[in-house]
Amino acid sequence: MKTEVKKLPRGQAEITIELTAEEYEPFLKQAAEQISLTTKIPGFRPGKADLGVVKKYVGEGEIWQQAVEPAVQKTFVRVVTEQNLLTVGSPKIEVIKLAPGNPVIYKATVNLLPEVKLTDYTKIKVKKNQVTVPDKEIQSRLSDLQKMRAKETLADRPAVKGDKIEIDFETFLDKVPIDHGRQKQFPLVIGENTFIPGFEDQLIGLKKDETKKFQLKFPGSYHQKNLAGRLCDFQVKVNAIYQLDLPQLNDEFAQSLGDFKTLKDIEDKIKEELQTTKENKENQRLEEEIFDKIISQSSFSDIPDILIDSETKKMLQELEHNLGHQGLKFDDYLNHLKKTKEELALEFSPQAVKRVKSALVLRTVIEKNKINVSQDEIEAEIKKMLEFSGGDAQMAKELRQAEYLDYLHNTLISKKAVEHLKQVMAQS
């Protein structure tokens, strides 16, 4: 068997494989046997006619044609193994020559896993920031809980700061209604500054059923670029005014929120949650900085398009999933951005390349340091998940599926590798 490997741009390679007629013979016999199993040949039971008989009955060309696929499957894997090629995705096969009595030649175009020349990351240091929770953040969260438990009473008087009001409003730019600039029965608490600066102040003093027209300029940093820094007209109608009476912040309030005895209990819980959130955010920042520095000081061979396209698709799916959790539709999001899915995918490409490189770095770190996980570690993780689910029988079954066990194995190894990088590179 002759083999020629030619490296192509964009992380691909072209493998030309040539089989002699003698090397192709076993595959012809296999194809003839398969044909005899599915074709009635007079005088022979299914699967019992030999190559010569089948050749006379269906023609030599048909046998050669049917032998190609198994021949490619077996010889391609052998060549890739012998050449130490690490491929990703499925190969593109092109049969170059297939004629009875002649050598069989085919080409396989493959995507190669990029090679990484990893920098000595032990010499790179990144700073891990200390996480603290100021008392004002605890009090702010406590104030939010207090507002959520506020008693609402319809008020027959002009609106004042601190009132919750329901309004209809419409926004105009150059006397033309803007997209999504009209809302009905919109709830708003005066003084919380959830709208553009000055909007809520315009509502103070208005009574139920009163309307008001006024002008305001959108901030220069406003997320809708067509409105940023522009002077717009607003038309508002007040539908209802509610006086908000806040409960006192005391032990009784804490007890109304759940399994708490004192106000300090709820403050401690808030602090714990904020601490966890901040630590998770700092860990994400730290990991991103670690990978950014390793990537910038390492070198990579060409990354095949298939890896970038796959990662971009994953990013789009993640975005669509997150929008769904917020009750938003992906198509509406695209319309808001005035972009197609393809345009958004193109914007995601640089980040997709970075994510692919991060995965390649992690893979190299795992190999270099021979990082692995034991069966006991996998069992411990499964036990934790079962305890969290309350011992759900269906979940217990799913957790034992081979596909999930493989996923869990890879996830735990990756976590170990990331922790290894933090231990070596992070400093307080």
> What's the confidence (pLDDT) of residue 275?
97
> What's the confidence (pLDDT) of residue 68?
94
The residue with greater pLDDT, 388 or 267, is: 267
> What's the confidence (pLDDT) of residue 273?
96
Mean pLDDT in residue range 112-135: 96
The residue with greater pLDDT, 366 or 35, is: 366
Q: Strand, helix or coil at 137?
A: helix
Domain 150-245: which CATH number of 3.40.50.10420, 3.10.20.740, 3.10.50.40, 3.40.50.300: 3.10.50.40
Is it the case that residue 49 has pLDDT exceeding 70?
no
* 387 contacts: CB under 8 Å, gap ≥ 6: none
Q: Strand, helix or coil at 189?
A: strand
Query: CATH 3.10.50.40 in the chain, residues?
Result: 150-245
CATH 1.10.3120.10 is the classification of domain 282-427: yes
> What's the confidence (pLDDT) of residue 47?
63
The DSSP letter of residue 196 is S
**35-52 CB burial, b ≥16 within 10 A, e <16:** bbeeeebeeeeeeebebe
Provide the β-strand partners of residue 312: none
Segment 66-101, tens digit of pLDDT = 899 999 999 999 999 999 999 999 999 999 999 998
Q: What are φ and ψ of residue 258, in 5° steps?
A: 145, -140
The DSSP letter of residue 108 is E
Mean pLDDT in residue range 134-153: 94
- CA 71 to CA 30: how far, in whole Å? 10
Query: CATH 3.30.70.1050 in the chain, residues?
Result: 2-112
> What's the confidence (pLDDT) of residue 101?
87
Query: CATH 1.10.3120.10 in the chain, residues?
Result: 282-427
Average pLDDT, the chain: 92
Q: What percent of the chain has pLDDT over 90?
A: 79
Give the Å distances, CA to CA, from 362 to 283, 359, 370, 410: 16, 5, 12, 11
Instruction: Give Cα 18 distance to the centre of its chain.
Output: 42
- CA 291 to CA 44: how far, in whole Å? 66
Give the Å distances, CA to CA, from 61 to 23, 348, 377: 17, 49, 56
- CA 333 to CA 347: how far, in whole Å? 15
CATH of domain 2-112: 3.30.70.1050
Cβ atoms < 10 Å from Cβ of 2: 11
Segment 272-289, tens digit of pLDDT = 999 999 999 999 999 999
Least confident of 33-47, 279-293, 345-359, 362-376: 33-47
Segment 50-70, tens digit of pLDDT = 776 667 677 788 888 989 999
The residue with greater pLDDT, 394 or 27, is: 27
